[in-house]
A and B are shown apart, each in its own frame.
Chain A
């Protein structure tokens, strides 16, 4: 690991003042410290944000919207009773990610900012445009499975590995960021950038800006009775998604009034398609409908021959997530959150 200078500011002003080019913000360290050990991240200064107390709170407003401080841990957010009741698929996605230990350490902001798991990105000796602009991309002609099927570019085919961000995209969360020039809000759909010619630009954050909070609106809670996250993995638990989907429906008298669908692990950001969601409106839940919606959500997907199965798997994951959402949110999360295995049923939530 390269040597660095470590600071632990107590206030936001101190934190902003301690930033300089080449510095990195530190949350739980579960991604940054790992990448520093690999030599992939080499910050000259590490600014630990975990002691800034106003970043650690979950606040429900009178109107039912919620503001989640950037340093709230993934575990605390998933287990917050009010939060899990209003936004159950976000809790389910969080609990399907990483491990019990890692979720205790990982923060909301760190999860949003986590880097791709592309094996060539993590291998210092491989060519990677995201790590070293202009170096080339060793993943493109490889058998890497964590490869984007949508929104990729000749420069980079990496995916965003976050589970948390998938339901956040479906629910149109807002990211509150702050820099020396003040505070602004970025819709989650604009937060993660597609690679284009500049895969090294990963998010809409400007130099020196940091995430202070995440917002979910009161309206996003209207899906709470029919909202599920489904994650297909190489092993039952403690693995990144091969494919994933967050599905949320608002139902009245057995008819879908509005539907949301975001796909995970298929692009450099959670993937949402308005035309696919529009197909749900006014319909009764039905397997054929969900298959059509999944097909539309994956429109334009491309994969090398050895990964064509992943397009099919992503469609099936989406269709099944929609069917699970239609069946209803369970009152208690299943023993295996977001898993295609194990007991799915049980009492439904009537929130």
Chain B
């Protein structure tokens, strides 16, 4: 089999050849497109380390067949910052010690970006913990993660209001 799919990957249009339908989006990113920022933890949907945005929504790249993604817009951790300017969620994770070893962090950050866009949690810590429960942190950095998501959520809401005014 040989199949070409078009992707918008971190803002850039890409034509990608898929020679085997078994390739997941996660393996495509890490092994074939030199984007190892997205991590593989369980490879079964159970840990959230592989979280990316697909058409603006958070998803587990380990359970997505790449062959099905023609036309999709994919954002990975490598695509969040604007040059040296960190995304507000990235900045908040640093400020609030939202990680220890860092392995789960790309997934946590992408999941938080997705959660904030969903708009259900706001800065309510209980809703944030529930909304982030698909991301496991083996180091137990959950307290800092919750604070970081609260902070980023507030800042992004304030910025949106500022922009609208």
Contact = CB atoms under 8 A, between A and B. Distances in A.
A46 B126 contact: no
Interface string A139-150: 000000000000
B152 interface: no
Contact of A101 (B20, B48, B70): B48
Q: What bracket does the count of chain A residues touching chain B fall in?
A: 20 to 34
A287 to B, nearest CB: 27
Contacts of A28: 63
A238 B133 contact: yes
A331 to B, nearest CB: 14
Contacts, number: 96
B63 A335 contact: no
Interface string B99-133: 00000000000010011001010001011011111
A21 interface: no
B124 A104 contact: no
18 contacts: A1-B22, A5-B1, A6-B21, A8-B67, A8-B70, A33-B63, A46-B21, A75-B57, A75-B118, A98-B45, A99-B45, A100-B115, A101-B58, A101-B111, A101-B134, A102-B60, A104-B57, A237-B130
Contact of B134 (A29, A79, A102, A343): A102
B129 A105 contact: no
Indicate the member of B3, B45, B115, B131 with the most A CB atoms within 10 Å.
B45
Contacts of B24: 33
B134 A98 contact: yes
A80 B56 CA distance: 18
B65 A30 contact: no
Given A30-B45, A99-B134, A3 B22 contact: yes
Given A8-B68, A237-B133, A336-B130, 18 more contacts: A5-B1, A6-B68, A30-B45, A30-B63, A37-B44, A46-B21, A48-B65, A75-B57, A79-B118, A98-B134, A99-B134, A101-B59, A101-B134, A104-B57, A104-B114, A105-B59, A105-B63, A336-B126
Contacts of B132: 100
B154 to A, nearest CB: 17
Contacts of B3: 6
A5 B21 CA distance: 7
A6 B24 CA distance: 13
A298 to B, nearest CB: 29
A342 interface: yes
A189 B1 CA distance: 42
A199 interface: no
A314 to B, nearest CB: 24
Contacts of A219: none
B21 A101 contact: no
B111 A100 contact: yes
B64 interface: yes
